[in-house]
Amino acid sequence: MTAKRTSIHGQWSSRWAFILAATGSAVGLGNIWRFPYLAGENGGGAFVLVYLVCVVLVGIPIMMAEILLGRRGRQSPINTMDSLAAEEGLSRHWHLLGWMGVVAGFIILSYYSVIAGWTLAYIFRTGAGAFVDADAAFSKQMFTELISDPERLLAWHTIFIVMSVVIVSRGVKSGLERAVKFLMPALLILLLVMVGYAMSTERFMDGITYLFVPDFEQLADKNFFADILLPALGQAFFSLSIGMGAIMIYGSYLSQKSSITFNCFSIAIADTSVALLAGVAIFPIVFTYGLEPAGGPGLIFITLPIAFGQMPFGTFFGTLFFILLLFAAWTSSISLLEPAVTWLVENRNMSRVKATTIAGVIAWLLGLVTVLSFNHWAFSFSFAGVIKENGLFDIFDILTSNILLPIGGLLVAIFAAWLMSRSSTVDELGLGDSTAYQAWRFAVRYVAPFGVIVIFLNAIGVFKLLGFVE
């Protein structure tokens, strides 16, 4: 057994602090709108069931592998992969896997910050009563005016980056841990308040049915592979923040006594619960006010504000909703910034404050590309048969979500299950040579890589080219 390393950056005070932090990394804007929308449009309860199976067979095994690597290396993802490759007698080029995760997370942070800036803007707009009695045309015009104004986008983007930098600069316990101990319970309370309001609406049960009950007539017209399995598999993988270095670096701060298996199942349950509660909160409101459950930014920034403008106490609940979104984005952004900061501290001998400031400035500068992609630099192109209209922002999104993250997750699985010695993984997981360990090893060796390859091929349009999906 290799002597245990210690992290120079600190350690979580408890397993629950780690679970809160990792759940915060996983819970983001996608949980609030994307998961409920996918569930509703792809079979309701049937989609949810398939999604849960995908989480267990693909998401959790790879997350366990990534946390295993992080805790064993106790460094930034780049240095962790370098050290573990040397320890296992492998090529030092495996440090490129660490770089891939850090770069992917950094690019995601740069555009995530801009989208989170929209949320900040809408907190103040909704709180000021801008959407009272608003119709669809007014709501769409307000959103269009926001993204068409680079100066306003830049201002909100700057504020959000500063918010993230302030937390990360304070370190593991004083910054990250203290923030998630406040933000995650606050997020849950806000979500439950929204669910409570949704229960009072006229069409609450319609929303529940839409989300949880399989519509077998609808399912008869669907292709199981294209319409249920692929969306569920993709959501299961991306929802858990796999492949971007965030979970690996958070794992490096985890106590050696803490069970990786227990933690991963807890994170997956919490992440899925937030997504389901978001659907319970959103769809009864959408149906009650006769709105279309459209996906993406349209649901959050165009459709829901109309409902908030019509409902009793809509200004209050609308403001709460956008604060909820802000908290979800905030907990994710700090995890995306952390891997780059730790590398600067370890390799450039910087103080944490200086490293965070430099990383934050670079992310801010890169975010200018996204700011301008919605207005001055906008251009259209086709990817995998889909027309993209926001230029470099869409290229960033495709590069990270469709290419870097799936490849990163696949390489994590290969390294942990095929190249790391069995004794190393047994030692780190603490399961012995039990049935649980055998199940994890089989899943991360065979099932999870197959699932990630399917995600990757679908993301780059191979299945569409072959005619498996429309």
Structure-model confidence comparison of residues 196 and 3, the more confident one: 196
Q: Which residues contact 390 (CB under 8 A, 6 or more apart)?
A: 373, 374, 378
Spatial distance between the Cα atoms of 158 and 148, rounded to a whole number of angstroms: 17
Q: By CB neighbour count within 10 A (0-12 exposed, 13-18 middle, 19+ buried), where does 22 fall?
A: buried
CA 230 to chain centre: 18
pLDDT at 135 > cutoff 80: yes
% residues pLDDT > 90 (the chain): 72
Cβ count within 10 A of residue 14: 12
Q: With 0-12 CB in 10 A as exposed, 13-18 as middle and 19+ as buried, what is 229?
A: buried
End-to-end Cα distance, the chain: 51
Return the closest-CA partner of residue 305 out of 136, 187, 115.
136
Which of 130-163 are b and which e, b meaning 16 or more Cβ less than 10 Å from the residue's Cβ? Answer: bbeebeeebbbebbeebbeebebbbebbeebbeb
Number of CB atoms found within 10 A of residue 128's CB? 11
For residue 238, what pLDDT is reported? 84
Mean pLDDT, residues 75-93: 96
pLDDT value of position 349? 93
Q: Which residue has the tokens 């048969």?
A: 385
Return the sign of the alpha-carbon dihedral for residues 450, 456, 459, 462: negative
Average of pLDDT values for 205-222? 78
CB count within 10 Å of CB 361 equals 12
Pick 316 or 31 by higher pLDDT: 316
For the residues 320-341, what does the mean pLDDT come to? 96
Q: Render pLDDT for 408-432 as a digit per residue (tens, 0 to 9).
A: 999 999 999 999 999 999 999 989 8
Residue 364 has pLDDT above 50, yes or no: yes
| Residue that the structure tokens 């304070």 belong to | 170
Residue 470: Cβ within 10 Å count: 9
**In the chain, domain spans:** 15-466
- Tell me how far CA of residue 449 lies from CA of 139, 236, 262, 292, 456, in angstroms: 43, 14, 22, 37, 10
User: Which fold is adopted by the domain 15-466?
Assistant: Amino acid/polyamine transporter I (1.20.1740)
Read off the pLDDT band of 2 (50, 70, 90). Answer: low
Give residue 214's pLDDT band: very low, low, confident or very high (50, 70, 90): confident
